[in-house]
Amino acid sequence: MPLAEVFERVAGPDADVEFVAYDGSKAGRPGSPAVTFSIKDPTAVSYLAQAPGALGLARAFVSGHLDVHGDMYTALSRLAKAQRMDLSVSERLSLLSQLGGPKLLLRRVAPPPQEVRVNRSWMSGRRHSRGRDASAISHHYDVSNTFYEWVLGPSMAYTCACYPDAGATLEQAQEHKFDLVARKIALRPGMRLLDVGCGPGSITRGLAERVAPGQVIGVDLSRETLAAARRDAAARGLANLQYEEGSVYRLNHADASFDVVYAHQVIQHLREPAAALAEMLRVVRPGGIIAVREVDWGTAAYWPPDPWIDRFVEVHLETWARNGGEPRMGRRLRALFNAAEVAQLAISASVWCYATPDETEEWGSSYAERLLTSPMGERPVEYGYASRADIEAMAAAFRAWGKHPDALWTFVHVAALARRPA
């Protein structure tokens, strides 16, 4: 079988792309999709066979063994949505034979030099020591900020947008969200504010604009992210905004030194949320405001039901807990704040809802890819919560669910707003 036809079989009949291989073969749908994958040499085949899915595709592309002609986003989106996971064992063995047999898998091709290597020594040392926490954050977040701009938009806002109207752009929706946050926590000019886990400062800078000339400090453990945040603040002329490296467990500030302490989607990842909240309360002045927002994965609801998606939710929550976090932190915020003996506690909630064909297909395909190519799928196997076959079945279920005309997915985010007792 010509090589290009092998790739067409793996991609499935719905992949609206063309394949051109180094053996001179062509397959797929020429012309109409305006997207062509050019497999340039056997190394590209090895990458794709040894790491099926987006990971192998990315390795082959960045190392120059595969070219994409046409819009990259369209190419990846079409291939990801169409990629087949329903091939039987015999079909897979047959395709492997067509590609060159078992030797294709036995002779491992080293990942390209651009790929980050996991260094276990990064996680050595005392738990929650500044060095260990910084290493963990660096591993996950110290990537090119160009990547964050591509995924999140120019503002790099790592939060759901709030659209004021149907015609608003993403950036306008993010600005509207910043205004909503500022109103909710009663910001006013002259306040001194601390943003814990600030990331690239996409929310922090909006807060700084609204409390100016009051000072705003963003704290994070990712050095590269902080460097980008500092450049952005300088470019915007935000003289009242500064960033510093630090841990939520050991904030480098005096007692009662802020009017407001804010944390967005931070506590859910922590092993010791009460200790983190106590440290945030320490640095806020008596009568000052503390505002926290967290997801509650236990509220995830979807339709139509699928046993493999049910299994994913179960395994996802188990893995999150094993990693030391709390995926249901949203529902625990009231208890967490009550235990800290805060004053004037107010709890509110909002809902993420995916209910259009584009939204559900994007949500389903994105989770399928994350299961197949990221720690989301690797950790459950490592911990013994699922097999690789289970992970593949979950990914296939997400893709099928996303294309269903009745698909719906929702879950709740909870916010806590309180004051430190006077």
Q: What is the pLDDT of residues 373-392, one digit of tens each?
A: 777 888 898 889 999 889 98
Residue 139 covered by a domain: yes
Percent of the chain with pLDDT over 70: 75
**Same domain, residue pair 86 and 143:** no
Q: Is the pLDDT of residue 195 over 80?
A: yes
**Same domain, residue pair 12 and 84:** yes
Tell me the pLDDT tens digit for each residue of 152-164: 667 666 666 677 7
Contact 11, 83 (CB under 8 A): yes
Least Cα distance to 10 among 42, 57, 68, 65 occurs for 57
**Same domain, residue pair 48 and 171:** no
Position 54 scores a pLDDT of 66
CATH code of the domain in which 97 resides: 3.30.1050
Separation of CA 208 from chain center: 25
Q: Is the pLDDT of residue 415 over 90?
A: yes
d(CA 268, CA 17): 40
User: 95: pLDDT confidence band, cut at 50, 70 and 90?
Assistant: low
Residue 146 covered by a domain: yes
Q: Is the pLDDT of residue 98 over 50?
A: yes
User: 91: pLDDT confidence band, cut at 50, 70 and 90?
Assistant: low
**Same domain, residue pair 99 and 135:** no
Position 1 scores a pLDDT of 59
Position with higher pLDDT, 30 vs 255? 255
Dihedral pair phi/psi, residue 215, rounded to 5°: -85, 140
Residue 310 covered by a domain: yes
Domain boundary among 56, 85, 103: 103
Position with higher pLDDT, 147 vs 356? 356
**Same domain, residue pair 94 and 153:** no
CB proximity list for 91: less than 8 A, separation 6 or greater = none
**DSSP code at position 117:** P
Position 407 scores a pLDDT of 96
Residue 120 covered by a domain: no
Q: Is the pLDDT of residue 330 over 90?
A: yes
**Same domain, residue pair 25 and 173:** no
Contact 241, 260 (CB under 8 A): no
Domains: count for the chain: 2
Position 185 scores a pLDDT of 79
To the question of pTM greater than 0.95 for the whole model, the response is no
Segments forming the whole domain that contains residue 21: 3-103
Mean per-residue pLDDT, 28-51:
76
d(CA 324, CA 245): 22
Residue given tokens 């909630």 in the structure block: 349
The count of residues in the chain is: 422
Residue 113 covered by a domain: no
Residue 356 covered by a domain: yes
Residue 285 covered by a domain: yes
Residue 308 covered by a domain: yes
d(CA 377, CA 392): 9
Q: Is the pLDDT of residue 82 over 50?
A: no
Domain boundary among 84, 103, 122: 103
Percent of the chain with pLDDT over 90: 40
Dihedral pair phi/psi, residue 402, rounded to 5°: -60, -25
**Same domain, residue pair 32 and 135:** no
Position with higher pLDDT, 7 vs 196? 196
**Same domain, residue pair 157 and 45:** no
**Same domain, residue pair 57 and 149:** no
Q: Is the pLDDT of residue 240 over 80?
A: yes
Position 92 scores a pLDDT of 57
CATH code of the domain in which 217 resides: 3.40.50.150
d(CA 196, CA 292): 10
Q: 296 in helix, strand or coil?
A: strand
Mean pLDDT of the chain: 82
Position 277 scores a pLDDT of 97
Structure-token pair, residue 114: 């651009």
**Same domain, residue pair 146 and 255:** yes
d(CA 183, CA 8): 53
**Same domain, residue pair 288 and 328:** yes
**Same domain, residue pair 286 and 393:** yes
Q: Is the pLDDT of residue 413 over 90?
A: yes
